[in-house]
Amino acid sequence: MTRKPSRTLPRIVFIGAGNVATHLAPALEGAGVGEVVQVYSRTEASARALAARLWDAEAVTDTSLIIPDADIYLVSLADHATRDVLAHLSPNNALWLHTSGSLPIDVLHPMSRKCGVFYPLQTFSKGVTPDIDRIPLFIEGSTPGVEAEIREMGEKVFKRVVHADSALRRRMHVAAVFACNFTNYLWGVADDLLRAEGLDLSVLHPLLDETLRKAETLPGGPAAGQTGPAVRGDMKVMAAHEASLSPQLAAIYRQLSEAIYNRYHPEK
């Protein structure tokens, strides 16, 4: 926790205390963007845990206790919960922001004329501290003036701040699911297969590092670096792999292999 400055800062309320809020709230305070005065979560333990990492934040679990006169309200909830929670709150003249890649900006229109999006494109987990300097922040504002205010906030924390409207953020979010969430699931599958043989994913770390390096450096990007039996069309190897897997994993293996094969052999 950084030292609280003596000067008066904008007062921030965090609505949500999950993975994103856990890292974003301290980062905003540490950069001098504002002072988080309140943290709301439906789960008391989460609200208290985040409040304890901040200068002097109050933890609340009832929307009726959220103060109405803060300067900034930062909504960092699961998408399915956002509209329901906002329905219990009163509009005001503060700056309202959300951190979602999927929700449009207009979800905040009922709350204030000053609203926008503050979307850091990264995977966040409570037990792992990310390198903020490497995270791009995507922003959108309800007016050019509001967006300029959001940009000024963002540039105090993030080195790269980029405008992205709701349609672009949705597309980026889908891309991120493919690149991160699906890939991480497959890493988990690989780890399970290896652990069954007394090994673990660490034996694949050099392979994963090299795959990412090629994706970053080859002129054709990831597509140019694709290797493996599906690219080669090695049906015998793929059949043997499938036979060694459970029906569920065999189905995943088959579908991904077919997608790879069809991409690299469109004429077949």
The string of DSSP codes covering 126-152 is: TTB---GGG-EEEEEESSHHHHHHHHH
Domains of the chain: 11-164 (3.40.50.720), 170-264 (1.10.1040.20)
Give residue-wise pLDDT tens across range 56-97. 999 999 999 999 999 999 999 999 999 999 999 999 999 999
Q: What value does the mean pLDDT take over residues 158-178?
A: 95
The CB-side HSE value for 128 (13 A sphere, CA atoms) comes to: 6
Residue 176 has pLDDT above 70, yes or no: yes
pLDDT class of 6 with cuts at 50, 70, 90: low
pLDDT at 7: 74
Residue 266 pLDDT > 90: no
Task: Output helix, strand, coil percentages for the chain, rounded to the nearest 5.
Answer: 50, 15, 35
- Is the pLDDT confidence value at 116 over 70? yes
Identify whether the C-beta of residue 80 lies closer than 8 Å to the C-beta of residue 102.
no
What number is the average pLDDT over the span 188-193? 97
Band the pLDDT of 240: cuts 50, 70, 90: very high
Angstrom distance (rounded) from CA 32 to CA 23: 15
Q: Which residues contact 253 (CB under 8 A, 6 or more apart)?
A: 238, 241, 242, 245
Please provide the average confidence, as pLDDT, over all residues in the chain.
95
Q: Please compute the mean of the pLDDT values over residues 240-245 and round it to a whole number.
A: 97
Q: Is the pLDDT of residue 225 over 90?
A: yes
Q: How far apart are CA 36 and CA 44, in angstroms?
A: 17
Please compute the mean of the pLDDT values over residues 182-190 and round it to a whole number: 97
In this prediction, what percent of the chain has a pLDDT beyond 90? 92
State yes or no: pLDDT of 268 exceeds 70: no
The Cβ of residue 5 has, within 10 Å, a number of other Cβ atoms equal to: 11
CA gap 164, 105 in Å, rounded: 11
E strands along 16-153, which residues? 35-40, 58-60, 72-75, 95-98, 115-120, 136-141
pLDDT at 3 over 90: no
The per-residue pLDDT for 153 is 97
